[in-house]
A and B are shown apart, each in its own frame.
Chain A
Amino acid sequence: MPGSLSKDAITIILVTAILTWVMPLIISTYTLTVLIVYGMLGLSLGLIWGFGGILCFGQAAFFGLGAYTYAIAAINIGESTVPMILAVLVPAVFAALLGAMMFYGRLTDVYLGVITLVVTLILFKFINSTAGPQYVIGDARLGGFNGIPGFQTLNIPGRPDDYIWGDSYFYVCAILLALVFFLVSALLRSSFGRVAVGIRENETRISLMGYDVRARKTVLFAAGAAIAGLAGALFANWSEIVTPSLFSLGQSAEIIIWCIVGGLGTRFGPVLGAAGLAYLKFLLGQQTMIDNTLITGLILVLFVLFLPRGIVPALASLWKVSFGRRPLGRIPQHRRMRNRERING
Chain B
Amino acid sequence: MAEVVLETHGLTMRFGGVVASNNVDFKLRARELRCLIGPNGAGKSTFFKCVTGLQTPTEGEVIMRGVETTHWMPHQIASLGVGIKTQTPNVMDSLSVFENIWLAARRFHAPRNANRKTQEIIERLALGSIARADLGQLAHGERQRVELGLVAVGDPWLVLLDEPAAGMSAEDVERMTEIIHELNKTAAIIIVEHDMQFIRSIAEMVTVFHQGKVLMEDHVDRVMSDPTVRNVYLGKKA
| Residues of A near any B CB (own CB < 8 A) | 191, 194-195, 197-198, 201-202, 204-213, 342-343
Q: CA separation between A208 and B82, bound complex, in Å? A: 9
Q: Tell whether B63 is near chain A: CB-to-CB under 8 Å.
A: no
Q: Tell whether B74 is near chain A: CB-to-CB under 8 Å.
A: yes
B residues 134-185 touching A (CB-CB < 8 Å): 137, 150, 154
A198 x B137 contact (CB < 8 A): no
Q: Tell whether B48 is near chain A: CB-to-CB under 8 Å.
A: no
In the complex, chain B residues whose CB is within 8 Å of the CB of A191: 106, 111
The interface-forming segment of B84-92, B208-216, B219-227 is: B84-92
B86 x A198 contact (CB < 8 A): no
Q: CA separation between A206 and B78, bound complex, in Å? A: 10
* Selected contact of A194 from candidates B52, B75, B103, B108, CB within 8 Å: B103
Query: Given A195-B103, A197-B95, A213 and B90 touching (CB < 8 A)?
Result: no
Q: Tell whether B79 is near chain A: CB-to-CB under 8 Å.
A: yes
B75 x A210 contact (CB < 8 A): yes
In the complex, chain A residues whose CB is within 8 Å of the CB of B102: 194
Q: CA separation between A134 and B105, bound complex, in Å? A: 57
Write the nearest CB–CB distance from A220 to chain B, whole angstroms.
15
Q: From B77, which residue of chain A is reached at the shortest CB distance?
A: A210
* Selected contact of A201 from candidates B79, B95, B111, CB within 8 Å: B95
In the complex, chain B residues whose CB is within 8 Å of the CB of A211: 75, 107
In the complex, chain B residues whose CB is within 8 Å of the CB of A194: 99, 102-103, 106
Q: Tell whether B126 is near chain A: CB-to-CB under 8 Å.
A: no
A207 x B74 contact (CB < 8 A): yes
- Nearest 3 A-B pairs (CB), nearest first? A201-B92, A210-B78, A210-B79
| Residues of B near any A CB (own CB < 8 A) | 52, 73-76, 78-79, 84, 86, 90-95, 99, 102-104, 106-108, 111, 137, 150, 154
Q: CA separation between A343 and B139, bound complex, in Å? A: 10
Q: What are 28 A-B pairs with beta-carbon distances under 8 A? A: A191-B106, A191-B111, A194-B102, A195-B106, A197-B92, A197-B95, A198-B99, A201-B93, A202-B90, A202-B92, A204-B74, A204-B86, A205-B90, A206-B103, A208-B75, A208-B84, A209-B75, A209-B78, A209-B103, A209-B104, A210-B75, A210-B78, A210-B79, A210-B108, A210-B154, A211-B75, A212-B75, A342-B137
Give the interface centre of A195, A205, A212 by most chain B CB atoms within 10 Å. A205
Q: From B93, which residue of chain A is reached at the shortest CB distance?
A: A201
B92 x A205 contact (CB < 8 A): yes
Give the interface centre of B93, B95, B154 by most chain A CB atoms within 10 Å. B95
Q: From B111, which residue of chain A is reached at the shortest CB distance?
A: A191
Give the interface centre of A198, A201, A206, A208 by most chain B CB atoms within 10 Å. A208
In the complex, chain A residues whose CB is within 8 Å of the CB of B93: 201-202
Q: From A212, which residue of chain B is reached at the shortest CB distance?
A: B75
Q: CA separation between A202 and B90, bound complex, in Å? A: 7
In the complex, chain B residues whose CB is within 8 Å of the CB of A213: 75
Write the nearest CB–CB distance from A62 to chain B, whole angstroms.
27
Write the nearest CB–CB distance from B106 to chain A, whole angstroms.
5
B103 x A210 contact (CB < 8 A): no
Query: Given A191-B106, A204-B86, A210-B107, A198 and B92 touching (CB < 8 A)?
Result: yes
Write the nearest CB–CB distance from B168 to chain A, whole angstroms.
18
Write the nearest CB–CB distance from A103 to chain B, whole angstroms.
12
Q: CA separation between A37 and B208, bound complex, in Å? A: 64
